[in-house]
Structure 1
Amino acid sequence: MNDQRCDVWAAGDAYEQYMGRWSRLAAEKFATWLKCADDLRWLDVGCGTGALSTVVSTQCRARTVLGIDRSEGFVGSARVAAPVSTHFIVADARALPVRDGMWDVAVSGLTLNFLPEPTVAVAEMARAVRPGGLVAAYVWDYAEGMSFLRRFWDAVVEVHPSAGALDEGRRFPVCRPERLQKVWADAGLVDVATAPIEVPTVFADFADLWEPFLTGQGPAPGYVASLAPADRDHVRDVLEAAVPRRPDGSIALTARAWAVRGRNQSA
């Protein structure tokens, strides 16, 4: 069982500062990779603040989009600027409140690793789509490809070696292509494919990188919030010494996600 003591997801504005700006870039590349037709019915499971829902509504010209998340705070934020064809409700990904086969596409962005039973959620997504419908998702590559988080946890372990168990690269083994392939196959999906999605994460300066870790939203910021001030400053200093800088003081890193898709073969 994953240690979720630091996994707080409630404040949409704080999430946007920490991760939302990068998740929107990943959502755009993910939607392009799917190559779906216009005028489809989309279900977004674990919709968060609505980044992926908004992308599929506009970029994919969806007929309708329903976003589902268990965080009332995130759903509230998603509703603020939602396109007319996009709606949001609070519900559990493992028991979707939708009828069988009523959606053309079910997607999930950056969520599966936070679910205690990802295969159950994917099976629910497969139930929700029509025969031949698409089920797809993407998750950050915490172990190797999410550069600013990789550097953060490396700094944490240098200061507090016992905190290694909280490292998202260790906690979330599902965030690898071979594991995603297995989850999709176990859910009965066919024609399964995976692909990397890489986006730039450019920070204006070190403060732009560090301050989102003080928001308390998600595992890494949650860990920072648990530290005494002196320990927090020590982690900050080690991280600051480790990140590369451009001549103008900006920090240019990259973030990689793994995407997976498959089709419902139910007749």
Structure 2
Amino acid sequence: MKEQRFDLWAAGDAYERYMGRWSRMVADEFVAWLDCADSLRWLDVGCGTAALTATVAARCRPRMVVGLDRSAGFVITARAAAPASVCFVVADGLSLPVRDAVCDVAVSGLVLNFLPAPGAAVAEASRVVGPGGLVAAYVWDYVEGMAFLRHFWDAAIAVDPAASAMDEGRRFPMCRPEPLRALWTEAGLMDVTVTPIEVATVFSGFADLWEPFMAGQGPAPGYVADLAPLTRDRLRDTLRDTVPTRPDGSIALTARAWAVQGRKPVRDRT
């Protein structure tokens, strides 16, 4: 499917400018919210360019951190970005190469909605943590909370009504509190909580906003790469006319993610 082709991620540098810089801000807030003890064994599923993995390594004094991603290109970038003590592996989040109950915490940042079976991914994460272990993730609120993407898709649909089929707000309804809560509950996790995390996304100027859409990484940039030049120019001009711009040319928006966590039940020893 066209949507699946555009969902592929491979180039770490392009991702960093498009989404990684904002993901790092969310990762910091997410890890603070989890408030985990030191010396735990962590697994980051779909680690991407190591925004979350590096934050865990820096803030949590972990005994072990392993980052997994199906993109070899992302793993290369992650290895360069994170401390040498972190181990990275190319692997699929739906089939983790990890034994049962060997981790204390399994986390995931901004990847769950791109997996073909998110429920199976949560079940796999639950499998690899021990009794009482924590499973947690965060995803962008594509429906209402990602302002720069909302502006982008509104402009794209105004230029090309067929773009609505690619709009992440339409495609990823699971990126909301109740669907996330249901995924965790259906995986048998307990004490499930969901919270919003909002960060500022300030662009130095329109070029800083627009140019990452030209890199072809992810649904929106993939859509742009597929456009005819004249249509691409119309989209650029429509977006420039509609985003709120400060007198100095900067564009100040916000991005919201939904974070979810739950614990694996402790086995009954009676």
Native 8 Å contact 2:3 2:219 kept in 1? no
- Residue deviations 1:153-206 (CA, integer Å, cap 9, x gap): 000000111210110001011100100000001111110000000000000000
Match runs of 1:144-183 below 5 Å: 144-183=144-183
- Stretches of 4+ aligned residues off by more than 2 angstroms: none
Gaps spanning 5+ residues in structure 1: where?
A: none
Q: CA RMSD of the aligned region, Å?
A: 1.1
> What is the SS of the residue equivalent to 1:5?
helix
Structure 2 equivalent of residue 185 of structure 1: 185
Native 8 Å contact 1:141 1:175 kept in 2? yes
Q: Which amino acid aligns with 1:174?
A: M
For this pair of structures, how many residues does the alignment match?
Answer: 267
Tell me: CA distance 1:2–1:138, structure 2 relative to 1, closer, same or farther (3 Å): farther
- Residue deviations 1:107-131 (CA, integer Å, cap 9, x gap): 0000000001001010000000010
Structure 2 equivalent of residue 19 of structure 1: 19
Offset, 1:3 = 2.9
Structure 1 equivalent of residue 28 of structure 2: 28
Native 8 Å contact 1:2 1:171 kept in 2? no
- Residue deviations 1:40-69 (CA, integer Å, cap 9, x gap): 110000000111000001111212110000
- Higher mean alpha-carbon deviation, 1-10 vs 238-247, is at 1-10
- Residue deviations 1:223-242 (CA, integer Å, cap 9, x gap): 00000000000011110001
Structure 1 equivalent of residue 39 of structure 2: 39
- Higher mean alpha-carbon deviation, 151-160 vs 56-65, is at 56-65
Please state if 1:88 is matched with 2:92.
no
Structure 2 equivalent of residue 244 of structure 1: 244
Tell me: CA distance 1:112–1:31, structure 2 relative to 1, closer, same or farther (3 Å): same
Q: Which amino acid aligns with 1:60?
A: C
Offset, 1:2 = 8.9
Offset, 1:4 = 1.5
Native 8 Å contact 1:46 1:68 kept in 2? yes
Match runs of 1:185-204 below 5 Å: 185-204=185-204
